[in-house]
Amino acid sequence: MTVRAGVAALVFGGLLMAPGAGAQSLDLSDVEGCWTLAWGRLAAWEGADSVYYRPPPFVRFATGPALRVEVPEGSVPSPHRRTSWSLSGDTLHAWWSTGFVGVRVRMTPDDSVLTGTMQTFTDVIGEPHPTAPVRATPRPCDAPFQHPASALRPLPRGITLATGERITLGDPLPEGLDLREGRLGTRIVGETAGLFAGATSIQVARDGGGLVSSIRLDIAGRDSESVARAIAADFGPWDMAQDQWRRWQGRSETLHIGPHPTRGLRVTLRDPRMGL
């Protein structure tokens, strides 16, 4: 870290501070490592979509071939597909994005912590971009998690076929399935069992590595209200409701159910970190 004008420096919690100096330069070594993030209220984004407009609460600013913001395994995950960070003089810039919406953070040293502002962004023209104060506190990467992923409400991440195979978001498809490749994804020949039993139209999308990023089912003969009540009994109440559609929103999965005009009940499971 550079200390300006040759002023004597003091060290507070790993950050080099120059008494009387109005600003200081940050080096990669000052920021690299794990930090706990805390922020104020973003009044315009309190709802099911709010996870997209917040960073994860515990992160690792990683260096290497590229600057990355990682979430230590076992901590609350980020719902974003893309993220990065950079330094400009005394300022740390970081951002998290789904590809359409997200949040930017700008922080500078303040004694042993970093403080600043976070601001939402979206590709929708005319939407507001509220801000909130944000604070980063250094924390050992192997310290017990203050926000463990195990504390999150679990949501369905997959479906079970009548033949016993399991299709799960983030995993490759099981071997031996009867597949039909199409313009909109991969159609699986078969039927579902369990919570989403009765689907005869099973469509999945996969990322470039062949991992399942979304699952879409059409189920004839089942109404959305009864299925919504069954899901709520196992996984808690829905986060959003519009007409007969219901949505459950997690940090690493979303579940939508509602009536399709011609195909009965439509169910969509998606991992927002893997694209649409």
- Mean pLDDT along residues 199-218: 92
What does the pLDDT read at residue 46? Answer: 52
Copy the structure tokens of residue 258: 């509602």
Nearest to 84 by CA among 102, 100, 72: 102
For the structural domain made of 4-151, what CATH number should be given? 2.40.128
pLDDT digits (tens, 9 = 90+) for 57-77: 999 999 988 899 999 888 888
Q: Determine the Cα–Cα distance for residues 103 and 197; give it in Å rounded to an integer.
A: 38
Mean confidence (pLDDT) of the chain: 83
Strand, coil or helix: what is 168?
Answer: strand
**Structural domain spans, the chain:** 4-151, 158-274
Over 80: is that where the pLDDT of 19 sits? no
What does the pLDDT read at residue 13? Answer: 35
Q: Where are the alpha helices (DSSP H) in the chain?
A: 28-31, 224-235
pLDDT digits (tens, 9 = 90+) for 120-164: 888 878 777 888 999 999 999 988 887 777 777 788 999 999 999
What does the pLDDT read at residue 275? Answer: 63
Strands 68-70 and 245-249: unpaired
Q: Determine the Cα–Cα distance for residues 125 and 104; give it in Å rounded to an integer.
A: 17
* Percent of the chain residues topping a pLDDT of 70: 88
pLDDT digits (tens, 9 = 90+) for 167-181: 999 999 999 999 999
By the 8 A CB rule, do 141 and 60 touch? yes
pLDDT digits (tens, 9 = 90+) for 98-114: 888 889 999 999 888 99
* Percent of the chain residues topping a pLDDT of 90: 46
Q: Determine the Cα–Cα distance for residues 30 and 186; give it in Å rounded to an integer.
A: 46
Strand, coil or helix: what is 194?
Answer: helix
